Amino acid sequence: GAVVSQHPSRVICKSGTSVKIECRSLDFQATTMFWYRQFPKQSLMLMATSNEGSKATYEQGVEKDKFLINHASLTLSTLTVTSAHPEDSSFYICSAPGTGEGNTIYFGEGSWLTVV
């Protein structure tokens, strides 16, 4: 079945630095990918929709200059957390809609970001 790969799975960075998270669709083309953030015991919150060949669409309250999204190709989307702060520490996860019937959503493995 379709697989979405996300890297890195865990990252620790210092405050003020930037961190890039990659999301790849391995056996299908994803013109759209979604980036979510999940705090402990909270729901997955959609941050932005990444569109290949155009700008990402950000949800209300998400700073586009802080969370840079680049959909470089039909199989790769990246999320860069710039000038990271401890409050950015969270579980970031990407997903892509499958191309088969049923609109199944495929998730990456997620990335645990800790900002110290």
Partner 1 sequence: RKEVEQDPGPFNVPEGATVAFNCTYSNSASQSFFWYRQDCRKEPKLLMSVYSSGNEDGRFTAQLNRASQYISLLIRDSKLSDSATYLCVVTPGGSYIPTFGRGTSLIVHP
The contact set with partner 1 (CB under 8 A) reads 6, 32, 34, 36, 41-44, 46, 49, 91, 93, 95, 97, 102-105, 107-110, 112
Task: At 65, list the tokens.
Answer: 């200059």
The nearest distance, CB 32 to partner 1, in angstroms, is 7
The nearest distance, CB 109 to partner 1, in angstroms, is 5
Q: CA-based Rg of the chain, rounded to a whole angstrom?
A: 13
The nearest distance, CB 93 to partner 1, in angstroms, is 6
Q: Which is nearer to partner 1, 86 or 102 (CB)?
A: 102
Nearest Cα to 30, choosing from 83, 87, 100, 81?
100
Alpha carbons 116 and 113: distance in angstroms, whole number: 10
Residues β-bridged to residue 4: 25
Q: Which is nearer to partner 1, 38 or 80 (CB)?
A: 38
The nearest distance, CB 41 to partner 1, in angstroms, is 8
Q: Which is nearer to partner 1, 17 or 105 (CB)?
A: 105
Consecutive H or E run containing 3: none
Task: At 51, list the tokens.
Answer: 């569109």
